[in-house]
Amino acid sequence: LEEDGSYQLDSDGAPLQTYTMDNIKDFSRCWTGFAVRPMRINIEPEDRCRCNHIDPMQIMGNGKGTRRDLFPKMNLYGGYLGDGQPLCADLPPRHFLSAG
């Protein structure tokens, strides 16, 4: 879409494709390695799987045997997700506790 919300058009006046298969594959890599939380006794099962669909999913680690894709992820603009953001390793210790 254009900034005003109108469709981007090709030379024939037809709307351009929104996402390519490469975009979809790149974004799907962001969601690897997540697992459903264990069931709790204060949740009634909604289906036969007895899965916990209440609590947020957890990332299954960065260590050996992880199912998480550890490599950089492309954004829709030809760059990478998080470009321009500081690396966690470059932040001061316990920065998340500071005011503001």
Q: What is the pLDDT of residue 66?
A: 73
Q: What is the pLDDT of residue 11?
A: 92
Q: Which residues does 72 contact at the CB level (< 8 Å), separation at least 6?
A: 80, 81
Residue 65: predicted pLDDT: 67
Nearest C-alpha neighbor of 73 from the set 34, 22, 35: 22
5, burial (CB in 10 Å: exposed 0-12, middle 13-18, buried 19+): exposed
**Averaged pLDDT, groups of 10, the chain, 100 residues long:** 88 88 85 83 77 84 72 83 81 82
